[in-house]
Amino acid sequence: MAELKHEPKIAAFLCRWCAYAGADLAGTNRLAYPPNMIPIRVPCSGRVEPAWVIEALRSGADGVLIGGCHPGDCHYVSGNYKARRRVELLRDVLAGLGVNPARVKLVWVSASEGVRFAQVVRDYVEEIRGLGPNRGEFGVPEEVDDRAGRIAQAVEQAVNHG
Amino acid sequence: MAKPKIAMYWTGGCGGCDVSPLEVGEAIVDVLSQVEIAFWPALMDAKRADVEALPAGGIDVALINGALRTEDNVEMVRLLREKSKLVVAYGACAHLGGIIGLGNLHSAQSLVSTALGPGWHAGSPSFSANGDAPPPLTAGVVPLADVIAVDYVVPGCPPPAQLIGLFFQTLLGGEMPSPGHVFAEEKALCDQCPREKEDRRLEKFVRPHEMEPDPDRCLLDQGIVCMGPVTRGGCEAACPALGMPCTGCVGPTRKAGDLAGGMISALASLVRAGDEGEDAFAREDEVLAGLVDPVGTLYKYALATTWKRRETGGEDA
């Protein structure tokens, strides 16, 4: 029996001025890219709330792509910079939870970069395919999970030999 | 009107909630004279059978504190729901999962072997001749509302006297708000905070023990991660007023939604390393990396609300 292959599901929050326009351009140019991405148009990458990304991952998205304007190009001056700092912090939190931080990615795509947009999606789908399915819950790797064990050992040592 | 019959029950908690009504001070005597205590294990001897013997609706208000950590917790709160007209999630653990909820960072099996040693099992303990055994752990910690319908929330770790007072005043006044009401402010804690806010630029995170904060200036302005902007007011900013940052025990404002998510947004807006732009990225990242223990800081009380664990053991990449 043929085994069902896991197809990654990717939620993409795309800024309406740059990345979404880039996606449109890829479409009008009939550039092919995998259909694994669900595009969501947002006013600005800086509008994407960490809670939305968390909700997407909890709901079974295998990866979340956030597309914004190149540095210096933000329609609202600095929304993309804010998005970058948010993603940076969010990835730290996700790593602490045992969720691979690569499941959230921020990319810069301009309105004229249809070709780049298609390539970004192709690359990200492959990257996420490599990570396998996200279980939408905790997946704590062994070395993180053993933290409690190490603390208990340290406490025991301190009590017995301290 | 007959005195309302109240119950107070603890599940996975520390006992602080059971003691918290004493914070109200003398007024608690008035309150106690106006209610009848039907069941309160921390105060008086009563067993599960006593609750089972009650008719449905035999308890007017059940205040339940603690997160749900064992199968016994789950059975007891279901029983209390059946017997109670109103159920109140009392305290941060029942409301959000609380500090107990941080247990979700580890599998139940890993928690048991850490606490009791190797060889102990999370699932089915049967290690005593007379059948006495601690109840099996659930796969993960969940807040009360994940298992039974919750009518009201009295938040806090433990609930501050003002909010306990507010709840009993409302209850004894007879006019209850619509279900789902959280007995705290809708506005953020900053609104009640006496500290002065400036135009914030955060160039470094500082932990509370690393500095003696200026008594008048906003703690966030001084680099201390204070959860005030995303946390409901109601405690009159008790911690910030004393120089300690808010850790979010009263829970998120409706607007913030997820405590960590909201606070990430807030911090990302404040952090700067000189002028914004591509040249500042590396230095900004250094500032952001200075946040020690992001999960424990930002999800101290609400981890189990957002992140669940569905398997007792097992790992994943």
What is the mean pLDDT of the segment spanning A121-134?
Answer: 93
Mutate to test the interface with B, among A58, A140, A144 (most CBs of B within 10 A): A140
pTM, two decimals, is 0.89
Burial degree of B212 (CB within 10 A; 0-12, 13-18, 19+):
exposed
Residue A50: its chain B contacts at CB < 8 A?
A: 258, 260-262, 264-265
**B109 vs B160, more confident:** B160
The pLDDT assigned to A120 comes to: 98
Q: Tell whether the model's pLDDT for residue B247 goes beyond 80.
A: yes
Q: Tell whether the model's pLDDT for residue B312 goes beyond 90.
A: no
Residue type (1 letter), B64 = I
Closest by alpha carbon to B276, among A76, A65, A66? A76
The stretches of chain A forming alpha helices (DSSP H) are: 19-28, 50-58, 79-97, 114-131, 142-145, 147-161
What is the mean pLDDT of the segment spanning B172-194?
Answer: 94
Closest by alpha carbon to A131, among B182, B317, B200? B317
The pLDDT assigned to B40 comes to: 95
The pLDDT assigned to A98 comes to: 84
What is the mean pLDDT of the segment spanning A50-77?
Answer: 93
Confidence of residue A153 (pLDDT cuts 50, 70, 90): low
Where exactly are the structural domains of chain A? Answer: 10-161
Residue A144: its chain B contacts at CB < 8 A?
A: 105
pLDDT digit string, tens, across residues B210-228: 999 999 999 999 999 999 9
A6's tokens: 């896991």
CATH number of A10-161: 3.40.50
C-alpha–C-alpha distance, residues B5 and A153, integer Å = 47
How many CA atoms are closer than 13 Å to the CA of A83, on its beta-carbon side?
30
Q: Min CA distance, B149 vs chain A (Å)?
A: 22
Residues 133-162 of A with CB under 8 A from B: 135, 137-142, 144-149, 151-152
- Least confident segment among B109-113, B146-150, B260-264, B291-295: B109-113
Q: Tell whether the model's pLDDT for residue B313 goes beyond 80.
A: no
Q: Tell whether the model's pLDDT for residue A161 goes beyond 90.
A: no
C-alpha–C-alpha distance, residues B250 and B189, integer Å = 9
Q: Tell whether the model's pLDDT for residue B315 goes beyond 50.
A: no
C-alpha–C-alpha distance, residues A80 and B201, integer Å = 18
pLDDT cut 70: percent of chain A above it: 81
Contact of A49 with chain B, judged by CB distance below 8 Å, is answered with: yes
The pLDDT assigned to B1 comes to: 59
What is the mean pLDDT of the segment spanning B114-141?
Answer: 74
Q: Strand, helix or coil at B274?
A: coil
Question: Complex ipTM, two decimals?
Answer: 0.89
Q: Min CA distance, B104 vs chain A (Å)?
A: 8
Q: Tell whether the model's pLDDT for residue B4 goes beyond 70.
A: yes
Where exactly are the structural domains of chain B? Answer: 5-173, 189-306
**B5-173 architecture in CATH?**
3-Layer(aba) Sandwich (3.40)
The pLDDT assigned to A156 comes to: 63
